[in-house]
Amino acid sequence: MYSIGYLSRHTQVKIPTIRFYEDKGLLPRTDRTAGNQRRYDDTALKRLLFIRHCRDLGLPLTDIEGLLSLEGASGGDLNQAHEIAERQLADLRDRISRLRSLEAELTRISKACDGKHDHVCAVLHAFGDHSECAGPHTHLK
């Protein structure tokens, strides 16, 4: 049995996050010691590592919940896992595309400055006036 501190160190997940996952049902409620300290078994450790890896891959908690619900599933039910992976890949590709657009825009803006600074700075002007941008862009999550 492992303490919450051990789980945190071993998985690099902060203690409040572990508690949050337990409150959300992603981690099962665990036994407590006489001193009311949580105790986790190997199954909880493996599940937390699974959750951590999913988060590292950018999956939202709702998708992780869906993947965890497939534990022990077979056949057509497993299509949901494929759908989640495909959706995450599409979201990632969209984000990369938007990042490339932002990169191009920032490159264009930074090249507009001649470095003399004896007049209105083209960079500050471009940052202050969205109409100066070459194309549309939005804040990324």
Lowest average pLDDT, out of 10-24, 60-74, 98-112, 119-133, goes to 119-133
117 occurs within a structural domain: no
Helix residue ranges, H only, the chain: 4-11, 15-24, 42-56, 61-69, 79-111, 122-128
Residue 124 belongs to some domain of the structure = no
At residue 18 the predicted structure's pLDDT band, cuts being 50, 70 and 90, is: very high
Question: Considering the domain boundaries, does residue 20 fall inside one?
Answer: yes
Query: Is residue 123 a part of any domain in this protein?
Result: no
* CATH for 26: 1.10.1660.10
Q: Which residue range(s) make up the domain with 71?
A: 4-101
Determine the Cα angle at 48 with ends 140 and 5, to 5°. 105
pTM > 0.85: yes or no: no
Beta bridge partners of 38: 32
Give tens-digit pLDDT for 77-98.
Answer: 788 889 999 999 999 999 999 9
Does 52 fall in a domain?
Answer: yes
